[in-house]
Amino acid sequence: MLSIFFYLLIPAVLSQSMERAMMGANYINFKAAELVGSIQGTLILEERDDGLNIEDRLTGVPFGKHGIHVHENGSTGNECLDAGGHYNPTNVSHGGPNDAERHIGDWGNFDVAGDPHLYTFTDHVAKLTGPYGIVGRSIVIHADEDDLGRGNNPDSKINGNSGPRLACGVIVSV
């Protein structure tokens, strides 16, 4: 039953977002990342006047908090390790989504309490295109909580110490 539910809903999200995007002049800035890994789902990204809108619909996510970031490489091989580190073109420390110092795609955590996980948020730093555009790079969802750079772990300032990679997807045009 769950898989039927999932497959019915994904096209609905896609077409709804696509319809919205097609109505605006910025329809070329409508992208998506299809995940591979132990989580199934799609993230829809749309650049709007008020920021980058990210809409997700995921299934199979263990309940709890999971770090989500934009990683440097547009590659999902080797169980998402090929995605590389956080996309960090200006060589700054890792942070949370509301911090002044953060990586381009430091989106904090998904706090998952249901399956499927449906969530929409707006980021005011990451952009799809331009000098630090994230199209062609990848999104990674981690097994553990992102400590937003505030932990005592040596990895906190690098990647939030959010552990293994559950799933990843390359940001592409749809």
Residues that bind Cu ion (CB under 5 A): 69, 140
Binding map of Zn ion across residues 62-91, x = CB under 5 A, - = no contact:
------------------------x-----
140 binds, among Zn ion, Cu ion, none (CB under 5 to 8 A by kind): Cu ion
125 binds, among Cu ion, Zn ion, none (CB under 5 to 8 A by kind): none
DSSP 86: B
Catalytic residues, by residue number, are: 69, 71, 86, 94, 103, 106, 142, 165
Residue among 161, 138, 139 at smallest CA distance from 148: 161
103 binds, among Zn ion, Cu ion, none (CB under 5 to 8 A by kind): Zn ion
**Tokens read off for 141:** 């969802």
CA distance 4 to 29: 30
* 3-class state of residue 14 by DSSP: helix
CB of 149 to Zn ion, least distance (A): 8
Cα separations in angstroms, 2 against 6, 40, 112, 116, 130: 6, 12, 17, 9, 39
Q: Tell how far CA 113 is from the center of its chain.
A: 18
Cα separations in angstroms, 44 against 11, 57, 63, 102: 12, 9, 21, 22
Among 57, 71, 94, 165, binds Zn ion (CB under 5 A): 94
Write phi, then psi, for 82 (nearest 5 degrees).
Answer: -65, -15
**Using CB under 5 A, which residues numbered 103 to 162 contact Zn ion?**
103, 106
Closer residue to Cu ion, CB minimum distance, 140 or 166? 140
104 binds, among Zn ion, Cu ion, none (CB under 5 to 8 A by kind): none
Closer residue to Cu ion, CB minimum distance, 21 or 43? 43
Chain residues that interact with Zn ion, rule: CB under 5 A: 86, 94, 103, 106
